[in-house]
Structure formats: structure tokens, C-alpha cells
Amino acid sequence: MIKVGIIGAGRIGRVHITSITTRVPDAVIKTVADPFLNDETAAWAKSMGVEHTTKDYKEIINDPEISAVLICSSTDTHSPISVEAIKAGKHVFCEKPIDHDIAKIKEVIDALEGTNLKYQVGFNRRFDHNFESLQQAVAAGKVGKPEIIKITSRDPEPPSIDYVKVSGGMFLDMTIHDFDMVRYLAGCDATEVYVQSANLVDPAIGEAGDVDTAVITLQMENGAIAVIDNCRRASYGYDQRAEVFGSDGMAAISNDSQSSTVISNAEGVTGEKPMFFFLERYMDAYGKEVAAFIDAIVNDKETPLNVYDGLKPVLMGLAAKKSSEEHRPVKISEIME
């Protein structure tokens, strides 16, 4: 039985607490730490079978019984706590992104070096039934050699301006999931990024120095061209589609909705909107990613998404940011220098 500590009991921390409790028989949560922990959250955690709650995450770091840590705290703490946890000999599951600063991610890489510790980064979409099935179809050669990879990724509504300001920008906060997905579907890295971006949704986003709408073209190592289109607002809900076109065919996935009910009447033939947002659409994927992390520990396997899988989308995001600012194609190698 793996004893787990969870650092951060916000929205995503609570998702992981629920997943481990109900879906991961090989793990129990010993401690949940959150500097803003209130009585309600503490009581809920207890009701879920969590042994102990605290405001101090050091209690987790210093607990020799805890062998695995989930880092669900604010982004700026991801890399330092990762390093601390690794140094304390713990396996780490870290929410995305590890950091916006390459140097900080390299500190995590350095800390891992020479250990046999598992490190997994939380790109949950790889565990979604649609994206997983799409990747398997491509990897099985169902479309031949990939040539064009397309991802549509639009949020139902923009985050608060306060969040936008600390988010690292749309490419590091939102597109980063799509950058991971491009790598997952292509089975290789990108070499260059070109961004056409705009501020169309809310002028306040532009005033905060960010964009909210973009088309991002990527040259992939295997010769394929990838294109992502993003918007921070879609009136019909969370739009999460992808398509891989290749020498022998095309594989595509569409959105999930709550039911398949279609109403035909004088107004037309109307089905349901896509599920509202990531918590609705990816709840099952969150459970599967954590189960995969525990499985990697229990059975001493590679995690499905290691620290380099955490690094690469950040490089892509920084290149995208640079392309957006300098209005030219930017090579990933420019960022790594």
C-alpha cells in the first residue's frame, strides 16, 4: 500500500483526493497539506478517509511513511517543492507546468538524476478516452505516416484577469496542454513554431499583455505539420477536438456531451453542447493519470509522462510567446540556448 501526501487542496487537489480514494486501491492518502486549509476542506478530507490534514506541507516532506507526493499547489511552488520532495526520497506527481522558467525545470531534472524515483507531470488529456483512442489509432498505423495534425482547443470562458496576469500567458497556461497533445499524437518533438494571435475576447486580456485567440503552426521532427487553434471563450462550451491526417487516412475525435439526445423540431435538429469545461470532460482522465502514477511506483515502471515531457511543452510555449511577440517563426532550439 502506497502512502500518499497531497500538497494543495484546491480544485485539482480535491479531484485527486477523490480519485485516489475511490479508484486507486493500491494507495491511501495519509496527509493533505494546504496553507489555506479551512475546516470545511479538512472535514471533507477526513470523510474521504484522509488520515491527517495540515497547513504545513513540510509535514509531508518529512514523513518517512509517505513515499509519494502529489504537488497541486500554485505554479510557482511546483519546481521548488518537486526538488524538496525528490531530495526527501519521494516519488512525485506534479501538476502542469513544472515551471515557466527552464532553469527551474532543470533543477528538478538535476535532482532526479541518479535516483530511481518516479516523476510524473499532470498532462491529464493523454488519459482521456478520445485522445487515448486517437493516439492508439495513429500509433497503430491506421492513418499511415502522419502529415497534418490539427487540434482545436477552446475554453468556454476566460479566467479572471487576476489569474491571466500570473498565468504566464495563454501559451504557457492553456496551449501548453495542446503542445503536449501534439507531441503525444505525432510521436515526436516540434522543431519550430509560428503564431498568429489576437486579442478578440476581452480588451482587459490585451491590457494585461496577453492574447486570447491564436492559430499556432508547428513543424514536427517527423515532417508532419501541426496546427492548433485556441480561443479563451466558446459560447457553446469546451471545444476539444483533434484530427490526424496521414498518408493512408485520417483519424478524428469530436467532443463529448452529457447525453446523445437529439431533438428534431421546427427549429432544426439539435443535440447537446459539449460538456462545459475540463472538470466535466476530463474527470475520468484525472483518475486514470493518478492510477498510472501509482502503478508506475508499485510495479517499478516508467511513468507515462516524465520530467522531459514536462519540459518540452514549456519550450514550445516559450517559443510560441516569442513568435507571437516577434511575429516570425521561432525554432525550439532558440529557446534552449
The interface with its own copies within residues 135-174 (CB under 8 A) comprises 137, 142-145, 147-148, 150, 154
What part of residues 7-46 is at the interface with its own copies (CB under 8 A)? 22-23, 25
What part of residues 215-244 is at the interface with its own copies (CB under 8 A)? 215, 217-219, 223, 225, 227, 229, 231, 233-236, 239
Given candidates 107, 132, 157, 325, which one binds its own copies under the rule CB under 8 A?
132
Shortest Å distance, C-beta 266 to its own copies: 5
Q: Which stretch binds its own copies (CB under 8 A): 3-11, 175-183, 210-218, 293-301?
A: 210-218
What part of residues 185-204 is at the interface with its own copies (CB under 8 A)? 194, 196-198, 200-201
251 lies in the site for its own copies, by CB under 8 A: yes
Instruction: Give dist(CA 239, CA 277) in Å, integer.
Output: 9
Shortest Å distance, C-beta 276 to its own copies: 11
259 lies in the site for its own copies, by CB under 8 A: yes
What part of residues 271-290 is at the interface with its own copies (CB under 8 A)? 271-274
Contacts of 77 (CB under 8 A, 6+ apart): 71
Given candidates 268, 299, 302, 337, which one binds its own copies under the rule CB under 8 A?
268
Q: Which stretch binds its own copies (CB under 8 A): 53-61, 89-97, 131-139, 292-300?
A: 131-139
Given candidates 250, 277, 306, 334, which one binds its own copies under the rule CB under 8 A?
250
Q: Output the nine-digit C-alpha cell for 125.
A: 488529456
Indicate if the alpha-carbon torsion angle 246, 251, 252, 256 is positive or negative.
negative
Cβ-based nearer residue to its own copies, 151 or 172: 151
